[in-house]
Structure 1
Amino acid sequence: MSTLIFGIIASAAAVFSILFSAWQIRQLTQQTAITNGIAAASAINNSVERLHNVGTLIFQHPQLNRYFFHGAAVPEPGDEREQVLTLAHMFADALDYGLMIKSLAPGTSEYDCWDHYVAGMFATSPAVRQVVLDHPSWWPTLAPHLPEQSRRATAPRM
């Protein structure tokens, strides 16, 4: 009789242990989802901050706006050219970072606005296109997003 009682108690303890483990796994899954969401939001925020930093510099020098948002060609050699190319490098850094985060951080893969923003920057900024074309290995996540005609135009001829 005591063996039967001990068996029932042991079985109940095993069932309780399994149920408790299932509850812990469920809680861990929820905690992981929340943590991933917070990490994704933080990563996206960092990406946007990088763009805002570049935007702040353009705001301080509004004459440079046309080189990034209105299709103006890279200026001839001089101070303004250096400013435009420096900002283009900074833009490329920010865009590359945003695309990299989108591909790596859980919860950001559906953040397609980065792809659209990159396409828009390549469409409206010959300076950004130029710096990425000149050094595609510097921006390995961004370079594959260059428009096909840009890549063909600079491909070596045989």
Structure 2
Amino acid sequence: MSGCTRLTASLPRIRRCTTASIYGGAAIPQEPEQRARVLALVNILADSVDYGLMTTSVTPVVLGYEGWRAFAVALRRDCPALVHVVRENPGFYPGLVAHWNANPETAL
């Protein structure tokens, strides 16, 4: 995520658009360039969260760590763009889909 943070911090126009769409609950932008940027970053975020969920489920030392699980639930609630990406390609994010579907408040 630090690469995404650096990218959005260096370009204020991107930062405003992506911050609202990723963390602020805003809809996916309709303007093609902004939409493409948001969806590209959200795909990276979905990959990261899916991988985080997977690694915490198979790494004995972090089995009880709830950080990725809580983050995934918060993103389900606050990031419509992420939900869109996951619904569009559920096979790409099996850990995220399984986690959301295991929780009634976040089921797809």
TM-score range, shorter chain: 0.7 to 0.9
Whether 1:131 aligns to 2:81 is no
- Tell me: CA distance 1:57–1:123, structure 2 relative to 1, closer, same or farther (3 Å): farther
Counterpart position of 2:30: 76
1:77 CA displacement:
4.7
**Which of 1 and 2 has greater Rg?**
1
Report the TM-score when normalising by structure 1: 0.58
Equivalent residues of 1:71, 1:125 under 8 A apart: yes
Unmatched segments (≥5 aa) in structure 1: 1-50, 152-158
Q: Deviations over 1:16-59 (max 9, x none)?
A: xxxxxxxxxxxxxxxxxxxxxxxxxxxxxxxxxxx333333333
Report the TM-score when normalising by structure 2: 0.83
Whether 1:109 aligns to 2:59 is no
Counterpart position of 1:62: 15
Alpha-carbon separation, structure 1, partners of 2:8 and 2:44: 11
- Structure 1 segments of 4 or more deviating over 3 A? none
Which of 98, 101, 124 is the matching residue for 2:52? 98
Give me the identity figure in percent.
Answer: 28
Query: 1:58 is aligned with what amino acid?
Result: T
Tell me: higher relative CO, structure 1 or 2? Use CA pairs within 8 A at least 6 residues apart: 2
Equivalent residues of 1:54, 1:91 under 8 A apart: no
Q: Deviations over 1:88-147 (max 9, x none)?
A: 100000001100110111201111011111111111110111100110100111112331
Alpha-carbon separation, structure 1, partners of 2:4 and 2:55: 18
Query: 2:3 is aligned with what amino acid?
Result: N
Alpha-carbon separation, structure 2, partners of 1:54 and 1:103: 25
Aligned length: 99
Alpha-carbon separation, structure 2, partners of 1:129 and 1:66: 15
Unmatched segments (≥5 aa) in structure 2: 101-105
